[in-house]
Structure 1
């Protein structure tokens, strides 16, 4: 057959297929089977390993957990082409990953989405372990998340806690309220005020909700997160990047472009103000701190790209956990009226009905925190923690872990592990009031024993545990204190079904909210 009678698309496909087979064959020759014993795993194909199974079994986390159950193991090894992915559902092995072998497993894996979100790994969440990462982590811990900074921004958080109860109060009554919309409005507003010192990108929404640009920004954050947590072929076959073979590349490019269009003008303007006009008298938000930090020579510590990468870190890190936790906790309570009554009674006793709950009340709201912990256990935002990368050969649970392996600690597997939890699929906040977490006077959202995952621990642990706790408990407590929640008339139970792309509720929660405080306690919205 002459070349002239092959149409261009078919010829491209032939060349692509030939290149793929050749590249995989070369990879197969490079990959050496370790002499030491790897964790158990499903039988794979030559060259590609379990890659075909990964492609054909979506969502992948369901297939992985089902495979581990079939093998009756709490640690497993899946091979996707030349990459070994080791999954863990045991608290003992999770502690080994995040404590004993923390430094050896402190790397991150590269992917198209993480590279794009982080502007070439110029931030803390996605970048590899090293000196630059240590500098970023120190800055995050001692500057952005310091007690001094968090105390300075308390007024912003309180303002948005006030705004959210009034926003719900002003919604048409009676009627169903979209709880996810409420949670997203609060989370985005708090994040914007703490990072940029303003609630909106341009025009404020008249009703106190998210404006069009904020909604677009929020949607882009979640699209970027979904792409990062997806199991994409190009994560394991980097030479295929750029072909957009599973549409994820185009998706994450569009999401990052939106984030840049929203964030960059504010960053440019603020950098110009500080560096060319002398700046403001004091640092008022996280962006001010990032811009004004200096190195040992008195020069700006971070470039524009590093600052915009850090801002996107904050975008993706401050949104999903709080929203997801509150949206799952309220329906669990609606399905268990006794739990809902206990939570509101605690608020009435600790806070009363003549003032709104404040962050200073959180230490005493132990039952509310127990409900939040239980929801984090049962309903994590994603099935796995971000992958840890092996910087060197090591072992886990006595099995060999080769350098370059990815380790995925399963949020879902830990939280619902029957070897850890009695009645693991039942919502029982009381389990967190026992001696397992100290005593009933000291309930926190930390889980150092890794029986389930909220903020993680170790070198890659979340630097924002305090702000994460404050945001989650304040939103939940304000909604429970301010309103009497009931199901729509045609519902007797909430259907608790997770989505496929993440573990959010498959359908946003719709519920009825009747004000339970005096009208004067719902302050005017401040935008």
Structure 2
């Protein structure tokens, strides 16, 4: 399954093949922001990001958009993700005292079972619709089509429908909530530091101009945008404790002895705020990642051998979706900053920067702000 994901979904060629899908959904996001501006309504940032990325993942994985527009159905999906990631991160007495786990003293297992049933109903509907329309769909095969065409591997192992549905669940979970959390936090940090937002807008305007929207191909020419996104990932990593790792044998990492059969959680959140590594670690300062800054040598994809900045992990077990995750964050942050001016609702000059417990550590109070188009009208057509 990992090989199929790398080949058809998350690798360099697959990213290039699906670029038009991402571009179309980003444009729909921009259109939605313009409509909210015309209606005089503030933008529920996180909700729209979830809807956008769910449609990107849906089109790539199952050949169709999941939600027509942001609304009740997309909000239910967002709530399911929130319940899943929040419940999965709760302290559970049964994890530490297995003999009483069956009692479910805190009701966590019952709650997670309810989330599972809701998610499974959604996945069943999507999977059945995908199978039903398989013969009538036009265009290139989607990811599930390619998986189903390779159900039997060279060694005879078979991929079942249950495996495919579980994979779809993983892709929707990992491909929507995590990137949305980082983008929302990064925009909130820039609204707290307007000079950073203005500097980013100046860079995008110089490189991209005012007559078109930012494209993924512009990102290599936008070093300050890259620095802003790295700083967002440093302060607000998408998975602050990563996913649990398990050691099959005794090993040593950075001078620490790890016994075999150890379940290990890596505190990426604390690493990114370590005062021994980062000067003034709680400040949002993208300059630290520009040439001459302390973070210049750090690669967020974890391929530089340094462990002071590993938002996607490092080594063979790093996040398999790190390339697309980084692309999502950079393009969405760049698009939001380039295409719109942002201001907080009247009377809300202060942004609540508290986090809510969960695997992805989202904002406790979702960010809402007014978006005002700043490009020429031709750019939005």
TM-score with structure 1 setting the length: 0.66
SS at match of 1:162: helix
Give the deviation of 1:167 after TM superposition: 0.1
In the alignment, structure 1 residue 179 sits paired with structure 2 residue 45: yes
Give the deviation of 1:236 after TM superposition: 2.9
SS at match of 2:316: coil
In the alignment, structure 1 residue 430 sits paired with structure 2 residue 296: no
Q: Distance in 1 between matches of 2:133 and 2:368?
A: 44
Q: 1:319 aligns with which of 147, 169, 176?
A: 176
Residues 458 and 484 from structure 1, CA distance in 2 versus in 1: closer, same or farther, beyond 3 angstroms? same
Higher alpha-carbon Rg: 1
- The aligned runs of 1:509-520 (5 Å cut-off) are 509-520=367-378
Asked if the contact 1:292–1:300 (Cα under 8 Å) also holds between the matched residues in 2, the reply is no
In structure 2, runs of 5+ residues without a counterpart are none
Residues 296 and 184 from structure 1, CA distance in 2 versus in 1: closer, same or farther, beyond 3 angstroms? closer
Q: 2:268 aligns with which of 411, 426, 449?
A: 411
Partner of 1:128: none
Q: 2:83 aligns with which of 215, 223, 237?
A: 223
Partner of 1:237: 97
Deviation per CA, 1:38-97, whole angstroms, max 9, x where unpaired?
xxxxxxxxxxxxxxxxxxxxxxxxxxxxxxxxxxxxxxxxxxxxxxxxxxxxxxxxxxxx
Asked if the contact 1:488–1:511 (Cα under 8 Å) also holds between the matched residues in 2, the reply is yes
Deviation per CA, 1:321-357, whole angstroms, max 9, x where unpaired?
2111111111211221211111000110110010111
Residues 521 and 396 from structure 1, CA distance in 2 versus in 1: closer, same or farther, beyond 3 angstroms? closer
Residues 386 and 361 from structure 1, CA distance in 2 versus in 1: closer, same or farther, beyond 3 angstroms? same
Asked if the contact 2:344–2:370 (Cα under 8 Å) also holds between the matched residues in 1, the reply is yes
Q: Distance in 1 between matches of 2:343 and 2:133?
A: 49
Partner of 2:2: 137
Asked if the contact 2:212–2:380 (Cα under 8 Å) also holds between the matched residues in 1, the reply is no
Partner of 1:159: 24
In the alignment, structure 1 residue 188 sits paired with structure 2 residue 54: yes
Q: Distance in 1 between matches of 2:204 and 2:170?
A: 34
Asked if the contact 1:242–1:249 (Cα under 8 Å) also holds between the matched residues in 2, the reply is no
Asked if the contact 1:263–1:308 (Cα under 8 Å) also holds between the matched residues in 2, the reply is yes
Deviation per CA, 1:481-524, whole angstroms, max 9, x where unpaired?
1111122232333232212345211101121211112334324x
Q: 2:202 aligns with which of 345, 363, 375?
A: 345
Residues 445 and 348 from structure 1, CA distance in 2 versus in 1: closer, same or farther, beyond 3 angstroms? farther
Give the deviation of 1:283 after TM superposition: 4.6
Q: Distance in 1 between matches of 2:118 and 2:349?
A: 40
Give the deviation of 1:173 after TM superposition: 4.3
Q: Distance in 2 between matches of 1:352 and 1:297?
A: 51
Partner of 1:522: 380
Q: Distance in 1 between matches of 2:371 and 2:256?
A: 52
Partner of 1:254: 114
Partner of 1:359: 216
Residues 396 and 297 from structure 1, CA distance in 2 versus in 1: closer, same or farther, beyond 3 angstroms? closer
Give the deviation of 1:311 after TM superposition: 0.7
Question: What RMSD, in angstroms, separates the aligned Cα atoms of the two structures?
Answer: 2.5
Aligned residues: 376
- The aligned runs of 1:372-521 (5 Å cut-off) are 372-435=229-292, 445-448=300-303, 449-501=306-358, 503-521=361-379
Q: 1:170 aligns with which of 12, 29, 35?
A: 35
Residues 487 and 217 from structure 1, CA distance in 2 versus in 1: closer, same or farther, beyond 3 angstroms? closer
Which stretch shifts more, 326-335 or 261-270? Answer: 261-270
Residues 405 and 331 from structure 1, CA distance in 2 versus in 1: closer, same or farther, beyond 3 angstroms? same
Q: Distance in 2 between matches of 1:150 and 1:398?
A: 37
Asked if the contact 1:380–1:411 (Cα under 8 Å) also holds between the matched residues in 2, the reply is yes
Q: 1:209 aligns with which of 70, 75, 78?
A: 70
Deviation per CA, 1:111-168, whole angstroms, max 9, x where unpaired?
xxxxxxxxxxxxxxxxxxxxxxxxx322222232233322222111110000000001
Give the deviation of 1:240 after TM superposition: 3.3
